[in-house]
A and B are shown apart, each in its own frame.
Chain A
Amino acid sequence: MISHAEFTHLTKRAQLELTPSEMAQFHTDLERILTAFARVTEVDTTGISPMVQPGVTTNVLRTDQVQIGLPFTVLEELAPDLAQEHFRVPSLFR
């Protein structure tokens, strides 16, 4: 079970701004998800090594070759705010 305080903390960590009804809805959903996972953890996995990926392929590699990206003029149009040939954003310092 997940407490209201824990759920509120999670929303803060995930940078989510939720309305009270969304809070209630997602709290219920999350509890259902956690309950389902709690059931999975009941399975005995002794001797089974963890699987990092379901696929069987390994070592899909490409050669070290330069590929031309988007021209600057296109990027210029895409950029919300461009200055000094950089993307300008609000300061990363608080």
Chain B
Amino acid sequence: MPVTNHQAVNLALRAALALNCYIHPVSQFARKNYFYPDLPKGYQITQYAYPLAEAGFLEITPPEQSPRRIRIQRLHLEEDAAKSAHNEPWCEPECSYLDFNRSGTPLIEIVSEPDLRTPDEAGLYLKKLKQLLEYIAVSDCNMEEGSLRCDANVSLRITAGAPPGTKTEIKNLNSFRHLKRALAAEIDRQATVLSAGKTIIPQTLMWDDHRHQLRPMRSKEDAPDYRYFPEPDLPPLQINEVWIAQVKTQLPELPQAKLARFQTDYGLRAYDAEILCTDPDIANYYEAVLLSFPADPHLAANWVLTHVLAHLKAIQCSIRHFSVTPARLAELLHLIHDQTITSTSAKVVFREMTQVTTSATQLVAEKNLHQITDENELLPIIEDIKANFPDHVERYRNGQETLLGFFVGQVMGRTKGRANPQVTHRLLHDQLKLN
């Protein structure tokens, strides 16, 4: 006999709260009867007339538009069916393959209202939803493994303001790319059918990414009559205020709140804050760096956003497993901030830190990367450069001030990037004018 998993209900409640849903005091499981190979017992345990939660919203901000609420119609619990494979290279034609390992495990289904207008908006909504679910640790949202899946419905209007036309459903889209491609293809198909004066047949489709085409799974005529009825094996769920309050206390800071806080507390630009908050692990890493290096949140953000993320992308590593821990990066940032090293040298040290466990301070000492701020050390170098490039000096004196960059480059080259940029600029500015 089935028994409801307590943790599954807790996680569903967490998602419902994060999506601003109304949680029903009583919800009930139902049997959805259908006969299909992915569900040999002939019915799926789901929720129908009495779902766990309804009437929520998720805010998205399409590019160059104001934030918009996408309404959530309902959020309910159900059991998963088997995973089916048809298009894998190892699949024989005329056969489907079923993996029952996830069959019967709990999942939440989140149904949105028809508020999305373009494939890009649908992608943005799914991205936001994924981010939210990752933040609140309801799912790892690994789309390749099927932890987050998406069915997308499409219906076109003949004219603006007209009621939506007949809809079709594309099942089991398991990546953002598939979602956008499948939606674009289906919008095109429906537009062609409607332009030819024909009607859309309500049907369920599947996206075949190998062939870049939609394949019909079943038309409404073949669609099963689900004959929903209350699940006799599972008693109703009663969710009282105490339970909801308990779940609320476990909710971490949500992405929108974090985004606002990063801008106000750390003075970050919206764009930078947005990228840092995309992934809770990245946001946590950034804040852990600031714990040891609170002096310059901009410098820290700049380093995480550029060097750290670029390196992680190159080596295909998650920030959680990154060998340069927040404390190690903070130490490097201190060295930049107090002008012990230049940003050029810092890049060298950072590269080294990703390979070894040595601290930033030790590496600076070992590689003799201390910044040169002593004018007496820099002046002879500048004199030598002047002697080597008399033509450039002449042109600079005659008003071609953009050549200053050339001279800075020369100094940096000869000091292996160790010359203090401000001191170098000042000295060059003065010395180039002197004979």
Q: Give the residue of B26, B93, B97, B224 whose beta carbon is less than 8 angstroms from that of A88.
A: B97
Judged by a CB distance under 8 angstroms, whether A21 is at the interface is no
B237 at the interface (CB under 8 A from A): yes
Contact A64 B217 (CB under 8 A): no
Contacts of B232 in A (CB 8 A): 53
Q: Complex formed: what's the CA distance from A61 to B4 in Å?
A: 5
Q: Any chain B CB within 8 A of the CB of A52?
A: yes
Q: Encode contact with B along A65-94: 1 for CB under 8 Å, 0 otherwise.
A: 000000000000000000111111111111
Chain A residues with Cβ under 8 A from B305's Cβ?
Answer: none
User: Which of chain A's residues 1-24 have a Cβ closer than 8 Å to chain B?
Assistant: 13-15
A84 to B96, CA, bound (A): 11
Q: Smallest CB-CB separation from B88: which chain A residue? A: A84
A47 in the interface (beta carbon within 8 A): no
How many residue pairs bridge A and B at CB < 8 Å?
92
CB–CB A62/B5 < 8 A? yes
A26-60 interface code vs B (CB 8 A; 1 in, 0 out): 00000000000000000000000000110101111
Cα distance A89–B225 in the bound complex, in angstroms: 23
* B238–A52 touching, CB < 8 Å: no
Q: Which residues from chain A contact B50 at a C-beta distance below 8 Å? A: 52
Contact A84 B97 (CB under 8 A): yes
Is A93 touching B237 in the complex (CB atoms < 8 A)? no
Give Cα distance in the complex from A73 to B8, angstroms. 30
B100 touches A63 (CB 8 A): no
A28-B8 Cα distance, complex, nearest whole Å: 45
Nearest-CB residue, chain A, relative to B5: A64
Instruction: For A89, give its contact among B98, B218, B236 (CB under 8 Å).
Output: B98
Residues A61 and B90 in contact in the complex (CB < 8 Å), given A84-B97, A88-B95, A92-B217: no
Closest partner residue, chain A, to B27 (CB atom): A52
Please determine whether A58 and B8 come into contact, CB atoms closer than 8 angstroms.
Answer: no
- B99 at interface (Cβ–Cβ under 8 A)? yes
Chain B residues within an 8 Å CB radius of A60: 3-4, 234-235
| Chain B residues with a Cβ closer than 8 Å to the other chain, count | 42
Q: Are A53 and B5 in contact (CB under 8 A)?
A: no
- Once the chains are docked, how many angstroms separate the CA of A2 from the CA of B54? 37
Measured CA separation A52–B230 after assembly (Å): 6
- How many angstroms between the C-alpha atoms of A41 and B98 in the bound complex? 44
- Return chain B residues, CB-CB under 8 Å to A62: 3-6
Which of B49, B98, B237 has a CB less than 8 Å from the CB of A86?
B98
Cα distance A43–B323 in the bound complex, in angstroms: 72
Shortest distance from the beta carbon of A80 to any chain B beta carbon, whole Å: 11
- The interface residues of chain B lying within 8 Å CB-to-CB of A91 are 86, 93-96
Chain B residues near A86 (CB, 8 Å)?
85, 97-99
Alpha-carbon gap, A64 to B7, bound state (A): 6
List the A side residues contacting B230 at CB < 8 Å. Answer: 52-53
Taken residue by residue from 192 to 235, chain B's Cβ proximity to chain A (1 for < 8 Å, 0 otherwise) reads as 00000000000000100000000111100000110000101011
Neighbouring B residues of A83 by C-beta, 8 Å: 92, 95, 97
Query: Which residues of chain B come closer than 8 Å to A87, judged between CB atoms?
Result: 37, 82, 97-100
The interface centre, meaning the residue of B92, B95, B100 with most chain A CB atoms within 10 A of its CB, is B95
**Chain B residues in contact with chain A, CB under 8 A?**
3-9, 26, 28, 35-37, 49-50, 82, 84-86, 90, 92-100, 206, 215-218, 224-225, 230, 232, 234-238
A residues neighboring B (CB under 8 Å): 13-15, 52-53, 55, 57-64, 83-94
The 6 A-B pairs of least Cβ separation, nearest first, read: A64-B7, A86-B97, A61-B6, A58-B238, A62-B3, A87-B98
New A-B pairs, 7, CB < 8 Å, besides A52-B236, A86-B99, A87-B37:
A13-B224, A55-B235, A59-B237, A63-B6, A63-B7, A88-B97, A92-B36
